[in-house]
Chains A and B, each alone.
Chain A
Amino acid sequence: MTGREAATLGVQLAGLALAPLLAGGVQSVKARLQGRVGSGPLQPYRELRRLWGRSAVEPIGAGPVYRAAPAVVGAALALCVLVVPVATVGAGWPAGHDLLVVIGLLALARVAMALSAWDTGGGFGMMGASRDLSFAAVGEALLVAVALVASIPAGTTDLRAMWAASSGPEVWAEPRHWCGALAMGLVVVLETGRQPIDNPDTHLELTMIHEGPLLEYAGRDLAVLQWAAAARHWVVLVLAAGLFLPHPSEIAGGLAALALGVIALVVALGVAETWHAKMRLLRVPPILLAGTALALLGVVSWAAGGGA
């Protein structure tokens, strides 16, 4: 392993610990915009410490699927963080750095949560899981379309090559890149479970999507799942910043651009969540479909331009 690979690996490992800071950052920005002091970006860590110190209780009749879900979700997201590189190089391990692997791992986590809701049969869990899966039917098409449009310049879904291919100013001359960036914005909102698609702060059980299945968990299990939700922020924000925000191809400048990009996206999420009310539930799939169409439009524009 070269020094550069070791450095980027270090950032990726730090990502496991830094992820809650992103979720806390969004909350912090929101609080400021809403005229509240807020509890600061470190609040998720306090929450995790509090939950970690508590015993887990489980619903009567819960089976192995319910018990396994936090471990599966936590492991899938941890692997995601390690698969998504933070620069044009990354440690060469067997898991690789393939975007399709990330999509698969996110889907695995989603399925594990849905199965856990099915296992306990709790009304809110089932409701949230069914909504999540309904959105995923369209949302995964959106993800794949974005992956397609983003992989065009590199000709591969290896994220290190895609990172390199999307660096520099030239890529912004292509309409394909703009279409992909807009579609990626939708992916960010969907996968982080934020307004206008979902509301992570709500106490209204009937409106919950991602929070629904979490209602059945407590203690350490809930801590793992909350960390996984934060890790989702890390994964999609790093992807969005690395693939669709301006960055240089060399390592040090790339890392700095990545940090700035992620911070900008955190602020953008906070602004969007304050500015926009939650959408009516049935409006979400058409919007996700529109995003997919936009990404495909990017592919068409590339093909029409001679596929160069």
Chain B
Amino acid sequence: MTDALSLTAVPPGLWRETIGGLGRRGGLPLSLFAAAGPDGFPEVRCLAETGDGLMLAVCPALDGAVPSVADVVPALHWDEREARDLHGVVFTGHWPHRPLVHHPADLAEWTTPVTGDDVHQVAVGPIHAGVIESGHFRFHCVGERILHIDVRLFHTHRGLEHAAEGLAPDEALPVVRRACGACAVANSVAFADAVEQATGRFPDDATRRARTVLVELERVYNHANDIGAMCAGVGLAPGAMVFAHAKERAQRIIHDLTGHRFMFGAVAVGGSGLSIGADAAAGARGALAALGRDMAAAWRALLFDASLRDRVAGAGVLPHDEALRLGVVGPAARASGVGRDLREDAPRLWYPGFRAVLPAEPVGDVAARMEARAVELAQSLALLDDLLAGAVTPGSVTTVDSGGRHGAGRVESARGGTTCVVELEAGTVRRVHLRTASYANWPAVARAATGAILPDFPLVNKSFELCYACVDR
């Protein structure tokens, strides 16, 4: 077992060095949030990779303030803004504070000032002309050229994390899962992993295999959807239609296997109730193989579509160093040449010998993000082909140690690494924090679209295809 979570108390004076210096020591900060400490006073917690396992660093907010690390770890910029808005923790040195979850009416309070000759603003949303979730984008442009984008999400903040507090883990699971439909499995598994780690339990082989099947099925229908969405973004109907069809086929297979198109209820805390007979597994395996062949053929057709290549090549470039700086995850990171994939080291799931795949030319443009989906689709279908070779049986968990109060779960969702940190108290959830891949990647959308022309923004946005709901949790 390689996923022990070490708890480290850090005094405010050492906070910047502890978190900001992680990169130098081969570590990586993953998420930062505020919570009530054992004595009821607020504290800030940061989950990080240290190079030899996971660390939960805790810093008390003396007088309600903690030193900011957003300047040295830009990936935690949103986390600090959210912690301030939701928990009132002040981050000393984080200036100016622009509200993220709060929506002040005054533009100057939350937008970046952009001035100069002929600079104008174009505001889009939160209500769009199509069926799109609520998000407001304020473009600062000269002509058609985008200089800067201010993104305002959280229009449908539901307080799910707060709603889960005080509930038993199996009651809290449906609440956390509700964060997002398209990432329901990844979020559920991350929560279940975190709870099991906090209670000193470890899933057995059957549970790990069952959860891996679900996570990979979710990736297949999401990636099919995302490739189709990019085609729709440039008005290429044949690509959009064939991948919409593929997504529907995938979801029907999923429905047959789990009884729900989004696999709601298929993940449980402390075991797995998923049971797929050998016949059903063989049937799904055949259907997925056929789907894979059709998608591969459709993808080859798209590779030779000159009008599509013309739009996606070179559009919305996210450079490699920017992807690293912003802590981008998932296919978007791999398209920029960041070869990280949580599946390479996932002891609580079933990925023996897994290696991340990157697009042939990971230059960070829309074409690379599109190709990242295509190569991962083939990889996921191969994994499923192996996992569904036999029946999927119900599983349980084994107790390995006495556990602690805290647990962390990490799952590579279709959009990238999703992190869930749980604190338990007397068998109930005291604090749960869910940081999804969409949360990690939204700032990168604004970065990638900077310098693009306005009519290319929908395409750049769709090449990340992030959830709003995963953020507005």
Identify the closest chain A residue to B309 (Cβ): A277
Q: Which parts of A179-219 form the interface with B (CB within 8 Å)? A: 195-196, 199, 201-207, 215
Q: Please give, as numbers and ranges, the residues of chain A lying within 8 Å of B453 by CB-CB distance.
A: 280-282
Contact with B along A261-300 (1 / 0, CB 8 A): 0000000000001111111111100000000000000000
Asked whether A277 and B455 contact (CB < 8 A) given A30-B237, A34-B237, the answer is no
Counting CB contacts under 8 A, is B124 at the interface? yes
Question: A278 vs B240: C-alpha distance in the bound complex, in angstroms?
Answer: 13
CB neighbours of A207 from chain B (8 A): 455, 458
**A contact residues around B129 at 8 Å (CB):** 203-205, 215
Cβ A204 vs Cβ B237 within 8 A: no
Cβ–Cβ < 8 Å partners of B454 in chain A: 127, 206
B160 within 8 A of A: no
Check B455 against A281 for contact (C-beta < 8 Å). yes
Q: State how many residues of chain A have any CB contact under 8 Å with chain B.
A: 31
CB atoms of B456 and A277 under 8 A apart: no
Which residues of A sit under 8 angstroms from B305, Cβ to Cβ?
Answer: 277
Contact A279 B310 (CB under 8 A): yes
Nearest residue (CB) in A for B314 is A280
* A196 touching B307, Cβ below 8 Å: yes
- Which chain B residue lies CB-closest to A123? B122
Known: A205-B124, A205-B129. A277 touches B144 (CB 8 A): no
Query: Are B456 and A280 in touch, CB under 8 angstroms?
Result: yes
Q: A199's closest neighbor in chain B, by CB?
A: B235
Say if the beta carbon of A35 comes within 8 Å of chain B.
yes
Residue in chain A with minimal CB distance to B129: A203
For the complex formed, measure the closest distance between the CB of A151 and the CB atoms of chain B, giving whole angstroms.
33
A:63-97 near B, CB below 8 Å: none
The listed residue (A34, A123, A278) touching B234 by CB distance below 8 A is A278
B233 in contact (CB, < 8 A): yes
Q: In the complex, what residues of B have CB within 8 A of residue A282's CB?
A: 144, 453
Instruction: Report the Cα distance A108→B245, complex, angstroms.
Output: 44
A280 vs B456: C-alpha distance when bound (angstroms)? 8
Instruction: Decide: A203 and B130 in contact? CB cutoff 8 A.
Output: yes
Closest partner residue, chain B, to A209 (CB atom)? B455
Q: B121: which A residues are within 8 A, CB to CB?
A: 123
- In the complex, how many angstroms separate the beta carbon of B168 from the nearest chain A beta carbon? 43
User: Known contacts A203-B131, A280-B453; can you find 18 more A-B pairs with CB under 8 A?
Assistant: A30-B237, A35-B245, A123-B121, A202-B235, A203-B132, A206-B122, A206-B458, A207-B458, A275-B238, A276-B307, A277-B236, A277-B308, A278-B234, A278-B311, A280-B310, A281-B456, A282-B144, A282-B453
